[in-house]
Amino acid sequence: MKHASTLLLGLILALAAPWAGAQAFPAGPVRIIVPFQAGGLTDILARTVGQHMGEGLGVPVLIENRPGASGNIGADAVAKSPANGQTLLMGSIGTNAVNQLLFSKMPYDTVKDFAPVSLVGYGTLLLVVHPSVPAKDLAELLALARAKPGALTYASGGAGASQHLAGELLKSMAKVDIVHVPYKGIAQGVVDLVAGQISMTFDLGTVMPHVKSGRLRPIAVANKARSLALPDVPTIAEAGLAGYEASAWYGLFAPAGTPREVVARLNAEAVRALRRTDVRDKLLAIGGEPAGTTPEEFSSFIAAEIGKWKKVVQEAKIRLD
């Protein structure tokens, strides 16, 4: 009888352990590390979503910017944090997919060191050209590029930036020769684009005012779906380059080993925040679009992104060290 009682007590404790862990979370303020400078889309996403997650969690959600090494410094800090859900990463296509392809040495394992929580949002990449470029749509632009190899240039925010990847994917899939011109941030590249020193670029937030004023011409959207901010502009795939898709994306990660029930709680609060109308409107105004997925869907998405961009990076021989 005593042995049976001991077994029963052990079973009760085992079943109660996950619930106890969930009840203990959060044990204080939750911190989201943004591996880039304040003011960018990653930072705005973290602050916007974090505010509403905090309301649901019942604790403050603090934002900490730790820029450097294309996001690797901040991401590494989260990878090495306690796996209790109290420290999270607002990661990106760079920190959690592409950087491992661009650097010969990484301080963390992109897949093994993180527990995906949710895909948070996308940054729309709108392909725009200077009005001096005699192309009104994608077909005319690609025809021009093929007729004049190396004559067209495109700006990016730096080697390995989302604009660079989008351009290299276009070159690879359309078999065209366009020249990459990297800048220390896409804002400066757009200045030169508006001045007519560059032919084109991929972005939304920085180019939208110039599209509205007529100083830049929209050609197509690089993302899978049309932009909610520009519903009349077709995607590159719709415009004739079937299968093309490129976007800047951002997601929430916990350190690997974080209890599943804690990840589930974080996911529920993140998705709830992303479904708010005011959050959606704020993101659309700055060139972003909300997402919201299950951890499993996000994990599969990351695996697909790594596979896609590995081929592009290798073909273009892109390195950051």
Encoded tokens for 207: 């180019």
Angle at 227 between CA 289 and CA 297, to 5 degrees: 50
Q: Do domains 29-122+247-316 and 126-221 have the same CATH topology?
A: yes
271, exposed or middle or buried, with CB in 10 Å at 0-12, 13-18, 19+?
buried
**pLDDT tens-place string over residues 261-311:** 999 999 999 999 999 999 999 888 888 889 999 999 999 999 999 999 998
Contact 116, 259 (CB under 8 A): no
Question: What are the extents of the domains in the chain?
Answer: 29-122+247-316, 126-221
- The CATH class of the 29-122+247-316 domain is alpha beta
Instruction: State how far the Cα of 234 lies from the Cα of 296, in Å rounded to an integer.
Output: 30
126-221 has which CATH code? 3.40.190.10
State residue 117 phi and psi, 5-degree precision. -105, -55
0.85 cut: is pTM over it?
Answer: no
**pLDDT tens-place string over residues 233-261:** 999 999 999 999 998 899 999 999 999 99
pLDDT bin (cut points 50, 70, 90) of residue 3 is low
> What is the overall mean pLDDT for the chain?
91
Distance of CA 40 to the CA centre of its chain: 12
- Which among 70, 64, 67, 108 is positioned nearest to 86, based on CA atoms? 64
pLDDT of residue 295: 98
Q: Rounded to 10 degrees, what is the CA torsion of 88, 281, 236, 303? A: 20
